[in-house]
Each structure stands twice: as C-alpha cells, then as structure tokens.
Amino acid sequence: MYNISSELLVINEKYGLVGFKQHEGYIFYGNLCLNHKYNDIILNNELYISMFVPFTFPNELPIVKDIEKKIDNKFHKNANDVLCLACDTEIILDLKSRENATICDFIERYLLPYLYSYTYFKKYGKTPFGDRSHGSEGIIEFYKDYFKLEDIDIAFLFLEYMSLKKYRGHNLCLCGSGKKLRNCHGIKAIDLMKKVGIGNISNDYNKCVEEINYYKKLKNKKRMLEYKRMQQKKRLQYYLFPPKSPFEISIPKFYETFIKKD
Ligand SMILES: [Zn+2]
Ligand SMILES: [Zn+2]
C-alpha cells in the first residue's frame, strides 16, 4: 500500500500544508498558494484548505474542504464546502494509470488546476479548461467520453451494467453494435472495473440514481403545484363567470306546451 508518511515533508515544503496522522488517514491544513501559468496567463490566489487523505489512497480520494467558504456556490462545490475537483472515478483512473501516484500528483493535477480554474472563472466569467458539468451529469459525461459513445443514455447503461456486477463477455455489447461485449466495449469496461474498482463505479451509479429520483420528485411536486394552481384558477373562473344554471336554459317552445298540456 502507498505510504503517505514518506511524503509529509515534501508536501509541507512544496505547498505549506501541515499533515497529522489520524486513525483512518492523514489530515492536512494550510494555505494553498497559486502562482501558476496556463496559456501565458499567470494567476495568483490562495485558499485555506483542509485535506483528508485516507490510508487507502489512491483507491479512495482525498477530501478537500474550503475552510473559509471562499469559493462561491456557483462554482464546483459539494455539500459541506467540499471541493468538486472532477468526477471521482476519472481522478482515480488517472492516478492509478500512473506508476505510484502520490499526493503531490493529486495536488498538481487536480487541486492547483481547480484553484486556477476558479480564479480564472472569477476574473473572466468562464473556465479555462472546458470542465465537465456538475453532479451526475458530469459523471455520465465521463463515462460517455471514456467509452467513446455518442449517446448519454447508452453511457448510463454501461454505468448500470458494471455497477450491477453482471459482466458476461458473451453478452451483446450495450452500444448496439451487434458484437459481443468481449469483442467491443467489454475490454474498456474490464480495464475500468479493475483500475477503479466496482465499489467506486457503484457509487457513481447510486449518485446518478439519487439525483434522477430527486428530480423526478421535484417534477412531480411541480406538477402537483401546477394542478393545484389550475384548480384554483378554475374556481376563480367559476366565481367570476359562473356557468348558467340548468334552470336558466331556455326550453324550446314545443316542450313548454307539452309540459303545460300535462
Ligand atoms: Zn462539480
Ligand atoms: Zn460496443
């Protein structure tokens, strides 16, 4: 397993973060300084953070918090001021594709670019790297790109299939090519499952389902409100323009005479 303690000194010297050992990992505190250049644009900034690095890194990712709530909520941020650096699975895949990924790799490849991107966003009103959408939309975008698919719905099918642990090489590929999985997207699926682990893929799937259900509920709620509003409007219309009572409807003449006769 990767040994974080060997990196403590380097992290402190390079980024000014001080780390302490806890029972499930290391917690770092400090002011992360940005003085970086991208496409000839130099940006400076600083962000006071806490960074929890689990012993299981890089199978599990560090959790970085914006302690002073400096990053505004319009930018990538999750609950409890946790920074949304990218799709977790994407970061794990990237780190695990490198030989012996370190915390410094994580800081250099994700944390500092995040701070750069935020600073750029505040200054120019757009992001410099063309980032993914936030939340489950961003997750699906990653799977779509990873499998080189056109369709976002098929990307979701792949995510669901992998998270249900039902991989069978002889199944037809979900992309609709008519080929067996093992001769089509299956190779990439197996590689991803091996590198990032089915647990992380399941997490992605659950996050998506949770969000889909949330929006479904929201939609239903909206529909209910809409319905109530319609009913109210109808009621109002009823008072303003009450329908004619049946007694007011004029009876054809011959009926009148018919009734009279009786
Ligand atoms: Zn985000
Ligand atoms: Zn395929």
How confident is the model over 132-158, as pLDDT tens digits?
Answer: 888 888 899 999 999 999 988 899 999
Q: How far is ligand 1, taken at its centre, from the CA of residue 102, in Å?
A: 23
pLDDT digits (tens, 9 = 90+) for 212-251: 887 777 777 777 777 777 777 766 666 565 555 444 444 4
Ligand nearest to the CA of 90: 1
**Ligand nearest 175 Cα, by number?**
2
Residues with CB under 5 A from ligand 1 (ion): 76, 84, 134
Count of Cβ atoms closer than 10 Å to residue 4 Cβ:
20
d(CA 254, CA 257): 5
Ligand showing the shortest atom-to-Cα distance for residue 181: 2
Ligand 1 centre to CA of 64 (Å) is 13
The answer to whether 30 touches 17, Cβ cutoff 8 Å, is yes
List the one residue out of 82, 63, 58 whose CA is nearest residue 4.
58
Q: In what order do the strands lie in the sheet containing 41-54?
A: 18-21, 25-38, 41-54, 63-66
Query: Whole-angstrom Cα distance, residue 114 to residue 116?
Result: 5
The token pair that represents 77 in the structure block: 């941020």
Q: Which ligand is nearest to the CA of 86?
A: 1
> What's the pLDDT tens digit per position in 198-212?
999 999 999 888 888
How far apart are alpha carbons 148 and 213 in whole angstroms? 27
Centre of ligand 1 from the C-alpha of residue 141, in Å: 12
**Structural domain boundaries of the chain?**
4-124, 132-262
Q: Minimal CA–CA distance to 50: which of 23, 68, 76, 36?
A: 68
CATH superfamily of 4-124: Ubiquitin Conjugating Enzyme (3.10.110.10)
pLDDT in tens, 87-141: 899 999 999 988 889 999 999 999 999 999 999 999 998 888 877 888 888 899 9
Task: State the burial class of residue 11 (Cβ atoms within 10 Å of its Cβ: 0-12, 13-18, 19+).
Answer: buried
Q: Which of the ligands is closest to the CA of residue 147?
A: 2
Cα–ligand 2 centroid distance for 191 (angstroms): 14
